[in-house]
Amino acid sequence: MTIRGKPTSLDIAHLAGVSQPTVSRALRGSPMVNEETRKRILAIAEQLNYKVDKNASGLRRQHAGTLALLLFEDPTPDESHINPFFFPMLGSITRACARHGQDLLISFQQFSDDWHAEYGDSHKADGLILLGYGDYLAHQGKLTKLVEQGTPFVRWGAVMPDQPGLSIGCDNVGGGRQAGEHLGALGRRQVAFLGDASNHYPEFLDRFAGCDAGLRSAGGTGLDRALQVDAESAEDSGFAAATALLERGLPFDAVFAASDLIAIGAMHALQARGLRIPEDVAIVGFDDIPAARIATPALTTVVQDTIRAGELLVEALVRLVNCEPAESTRLETTLVVRRSSGALP
């Protein structure tokens, strides 16, 4: 027997000699279907390669079975320069969605767009995952609007007390402390910090504070604001920040960069001036992107568990969508010691 086009639940019903609603029940695993009937129906569905129509099901049930991942780019949208830090997380998120039976829509957004209107409505997605570095204060208003609209969402970023919505993030203070203690233990005392350490970038600010504490606990005097230069998470920005730092003419024997991209850009700038790494300047980064391992010297850096982060983001969002309780989580970091910090021969 042949069916024109994709088979429907009604086709299955005819073949199984039952009504169409019974097919629907059997397929959704309702407990009130005769075991034998269910088996017959499942067999036929399998054989016809039947798949429930997502539109019809979604329309009737008023939900999409789909989550949306919005990836924000920093200011320069020069064609697809996404922070490589997010890639493993993306992989983890797609897998976690699959495990939860959710489809995943992906969209790259500019910070300026009014994406908060685009999703939420229209039943494209039941909830949003927000990824991306960027100015937190500029972001906050939109997050608040999402909460008002009742759109379920989770974001990757700093976990703070009274922020709108749920966040999964790493322990940025703890990570900064690991970097600071490491550099302090190696005898570095004049540590420069490259990154925008303000409440616009709470993650960077936490890393700054953590490093400061770590240096002190190792017997030093902590971070000096005179050795801090703003930078966004990009190689160019790191290069420019290190250059600006050198021009200040103040002595420093180490650099803690708020991200690996900044660190790698800074290394280029320092090396171009003839400074040796780690002999003259020790470097520690944050993120452990693939390039960290390949840089010369290889970069000591703070690792965030991006795989686990992706899983937690999806789990938390699925809970929100199902109106179950969910909470923000802060993940532990670990320090990977490589040659750039001077601890290895």
Partner DNA sequence: CTGAAAGCGCTTACAG
Which residues of the chain form contacts with DNA (CB under 7 A)?
5-6, 8-10, 18-22, 24-25, 27-28, 31-35, 37, 50, 52-53, 56-57, 59-62
Of 211, 299, 313, nearest to 263 by C-alpha is 299
Q: Which residues pair with 223 in a beta bridge?
A: none
Task: For residue 291, state whether it binds its own copies (rule: CB under 8 A).
Answer: yes
Residue 295 sits in the site that holds its own copies (CB under 8 A): yes
Distance CA 49, CA 36 (A): 20
- Contact present, 169 and 157 (Cβ < 8 Å): yes
Which run of H or E residues covers position 168? strand 166-170
| Cβ–Cβ under 8 Å, residues 64 and 125 | yes
Contact call for residue 303 and its own copies (CB under 8 A): no
Which partner from the list DNA, its own copies, none does 290 bind, CB cut-off 5 to 8 Å by kind? Answer: its own copies
Cβ distance 31 to 41 under 8 Å?
Answer: no
- Considering CB distances under 5 to 8 angstroms, the limit depending on partner class, which of DNA, its own copies, none binds residue 25? DNA
* Interaction of residue 107 with its own copies, rule CB under 8 A: yes
User: Could you tell me which of 339, 329, 322, 271 has the C-alpha nearest to residue 100?
Assistant: 322
Q: Which does 31 bind (CB under 5 to 8 A by kind): DNA, its own copies, none?
A: DNA
Name the packing angle between helices 86-99 and 306-321 (round to 10°): 40
Decide: helix, strand or coil at residue 313: helix
Report if residue 332 touches its own copies, rule: CB under 8 A.
no
**Distance of closest approach, residue 267 Cβ to DNA, in angstroms:** 54
* Burial of 270 per CB tally in 10 Å (0-12, 13-18, 19+): buried
Sign of CA dihedral 98, 103, 109, 113: negative
Q: Is 296 in the site for its own copies (CB under 8 A)?
A: yes
From the list its own copies, DNA, none, partner contacted by residue 98 (C-beta under 5 to 8 A by kind): its own copies
Residue window 36-75: x/- pattern of binding to its own copies, with contact defined by CB under 8 A: -------------xxxxxxxx-xx----x-x--x------
Q: Rounded to the nearest whole angstrom, what is the least distance from the CB of residue 119 to DNA in the complex?
A: 15
Residue 244 binds to its own copies (criterion: CB under 8 A): no
Closest to 312 measured CA to CA, from 101, 98, 89: 89
- Per CB under 8 A, 294 contacts its own copies: yes
Answer yes or no whether residue 108 interacts with its own copies by CB under 8 A.
yes
Q: Give the separation between CA 196 and CA 215, rounded to whole angstroms.
A: 19
Least distance between DNA and beta carbon 145 (Å): 21
Write out the residues near its own copies by the rule CB under 8 A: 6, 49-56, 58-59, 64, 66, 69, 79-82, 84, 87-88, 90-92, 94-95, 98, 103-108, 117-118, 121-124, 264, 290-291, 294-296, 307
